[in-house]
Structure 1
Amino acid sequence: MKKVLIISGAGLSAASGIKTFRDSDGLWENHDVMEICSTEGFMRNRQKVLDFYDARRAELAAATPNYAHIKIAELKAKYGEQIVVITQNIDDLLERAGCADVVHLHGFLPNLRCESCGEIWRVGYDSIRDKICPKCASSRLRHDVVMFGEMAPEYERMYREASECTLFIAIGTSGEVIDIASFAKRAPYSILNNLEKSRLDRHFDTLYIESAVNAVDKIARDIEEFLRKD
Structure 2
Amino acid sequence: MRIAVLTGAGISAESGVPTFRDADGLWEGHRVEDVATPEAYATQPDVVHRFYDERRAALVNVEPNPAHVALARLEDAIGEDLTIVTQNIDDLHERAGSTRVLHMHGELNSALCRFCEARVRWTGPLADLPPCPNCGVPELRPDVVWFGEVPYHLPEIEVVLAKADLFVSVGTSGAVYPAAGFVQVARMYGARTLELNLLTSDVSDLFLESRLGRAGELVPAWVDEVLG
Q: TM-score with structure 2 length normalisation?
A: 0.91
Unaligned runs of 5+ in 1: 226-230
For 2:27 and 2:155, the matched residues in 1 are separated by 28
For 1:159 and 1:60, the matched residues in 2 are separated by 30
| Distance change >3 Å, CA 52–CA 74, structure 1 → 2 | same
| Shift of residue 112, structure 1, vs aligned partner | 1.1
Structure-2 residue corresponding to 1:228: none
Given residue 32 of structure 1, which amino acid in structure 2 is its aligned partner? Answer: R
| Distance change >3 Å, CA 197–CA 3, structure 1 → 2 | same
Moved more, 115-124 or 152-161: 152-161
Q: SS in structure 2 opposite 1:111?
A: strand
For 1:150 and 1:15, the matched residues in 2 are separated by 27
| Distance change >3 Å, CA 157–CA 28, structure 1 → 2 | farther
Alignment of 1:139-154 (within 5 A): 139-154=138-153
Are the aligned partners of 1:170 and 1:180 in contact in 2 as well (CA < 8 Å)?
Answer: no
Q: SS in structure 1 opposite 2:218?
A: helix
Moved more, 149-158 or 68-77: 149-158
| Distance change >3 Å, CA 48–CA 135, structure 1 → 2 | same
Unaligned runs of 5+ in 2: none
Structure-2 residue corresponding to 1:194: 197
Give percent identity, aligned residues only: 35
Query: What are the superposed Cα offsets for residues 114-145 of structure 1, whole Å, 9 maximum, x if unpaired?
Result: 11111111112x11125221111111111000
For 1:92 and 1:161, the matched residues in 2 are separated by 21
Are the aligned partners of 1:184 and 1:204 in contact in 2 as well (CA < 8 Å)?
Answer: no
Aligned Cα root-mean-square deviation (Å): 1.7
| Shift of residue 101, structure 1, vs aligned partner | 2.3
Structure-1 residue corresponding to 2:221: 218
Moved more, 84-93 or 181-190: 181-190
For 1:138 and 1:106, the matched residues in 2 are separated by 24
Are the aligned partners of 2:82 and 2:100 in contact in 1 as well (CA < 8 Å)?
Answer: no
Structure-2 residue corresponding to 1:106: 105
Q: SS in structure 2 opposite 1:143?
A: strand
How many residues align? The count is 223
Given residue 193 of structure 1, which amino acid in structure 2 is its aligned partner? Answer: L
Moved more, 194-203 or 8-17: 194-203
Is 1:10 the equivalent of 2:13?
no
| Distance change >3 Å, CA 115–CA 17, structure 1 → 2 | same
For 1:163 and 1:151, the matched residues in 2 are separated by 20
Q: SS in structure 2 opposite 1:59?
A: helix
